[in-house]
Amino acid sequence: MNIGNKIAEIKQNIPAQVKLVAVSKTKPNEDILDAYNSGHKIFGENKVQDLVKKQEELPKDIEWHFIGHPQSNKVKFIAPFIHLIHGVDSLKLLKVINKEAQKNNRVVKCLLQFHIAEESTKFGLLIDEAKTILESEEFVTLNNVAIAGVMGMATNTDNINQIKKEFSTLKNIFNLLKNEYFSNSEIFTEISMGMSHDFKIAVEEGSTLIRVGSKIFGARNY
Ligand SMILES: *Cc1c(COP(=O)(O)O)cnc(C)c1O
């Protein structure tokens, strides 16, 4: 199956309102163009340098998502064009994004990343840390970032019940934040969860945005 067919197959298996971010990290422009020419416009990368190069070389109507944690000193390179930054987990990073967005006269959308997995290696906030950020005096002054929702990664396991539980936790966090801080926000709508091996479960648990790489482009060789 070619790349376009793989994307079509995934889209057939998710509800129409769930968006697919095709994670093209480590993959060459030709692969991205295959997907693009089949009609797909949303791509995700996790290295600033690679993303900037691809953005320069590829069609300008691609919607680029940053799916990791940009280093503070590199945010300036993606601020002019990035559509959504998925992996924000500190006030410090939000402040940097705000500053660089302001320089570009933009409001950059961000997702707060939460720690929902069992592994201690996965990044992310705990709910109390998020509350501290959202209730801080500084947060209110950040007019060039918009919190568009939450993001999380489940434990890498075959235990479907555990994955389900972790995604359900993220959905609950979304609902809680929505009620407490974003009830009037039209932007706070996204729950970014689900990758190649677990996106079906994620969609069942309420994902609005899945991030799928290897199932579209094949295994990555780093
Ligand atoms: C690489 C990556 C993905 C895609 O992973 P696959 O298993 O290849 O689908 C999704 N989200 C994040 C944050 C990633 O780094």
The parent domain of residue 162 ranges over 3-217
Q: Is residue 128 part of a domain?
A: yes
User: Would you state the pLDDT for residue 122?
Assistant: 65
Residue that has been written with the tokens 């410090």 in this structure: 92
SS3 state at 96: helix
21 lines ligand 1 (CB under 6 A): no
Does residue 52 fall inside a structural domain? Answer: yes
Report, as an integer, the average pLDDT of 18-36. 97
Q: Let me know if residue 97 belongs to a domain.
A: yes
User: Binning pLDDT at 50, 70 and 90, where does residue 120 land?
Assistant: confident
Atom of ligand 1 nearest to the CA of 215: 9
Domains in the chain, number:
1
**Rounded mean pLDDT, 12-21:** 97
Protein residue with least CA distance to atom 10, ligand 1: 211
CB 212 within 8 A of CB 195: yes
- CA 89/CA 70 separation, integer angstroms: 11
pLDDT (tens digit per residue) in 168-191: 999 999 999 999 999 999 999 999
What average pLDDT score do residues 137-157 get?
97
3-class DSSP string for 105-157: CCCEEEEEEECCCCCCCCCCECHHHHHHHHCCHHHHCCCCEEEEEEEECCCCC
What pLDDT does residue 218 have? 94
Mutate to test the pocket of ligand 1, among 67, 150, 198, 217 (most ligand atoms within 8 A of CB): 67
CA 204–ligand 1 middle distance (angstroms): 19
pLDDT one-digit tens code per residue, 81-107: 999 999 999 999 999 999 999 999 999
* CA–centroid distance, residue 171 to ligand 1 (Å): 19
The CA distance from 57 to 21, in Å, is: 19
Residue 163: which CATH number? 3.20.20.10
**220, 213 in Cβ contact below 8 A?**
yes
Residues 171/127, Cβ–Cβ less than 8 Å: no
Q: Which DSSP string corresponds to 18-58?
A: SEEEEE-TT--HHHHHHHHHTT--EEEES-HHHHHHHHHHS
* Cα separations in angstroms, 190 against 18, 83, 115, 125: 10, 13, 16, 17
**pLDDT, average across residues 122-142:** 94
Q: Which residues contact 15 (CB under 8 A, 6 or more apart)?
A: 203
Residue 218 CB–ligand 1 contact under 6 Å: no
In a domain, 127, yes or no: yes
Indicate if ligand 1 lies below 6 Å from the C-beta of 207.
no
Pairing of strands 63-66, 42-45: parallel
Instruction: Identify whether the C-beta of residue 149 lies closer than 8 Å to the C-beta of residue 190.
Output: yes
Residue 6 CB less than 6 A away from ligand 1: no
Phi then psi for residue 84, to 5 deg, are -155, 135
The reply to whether 222 falls in a domain is no
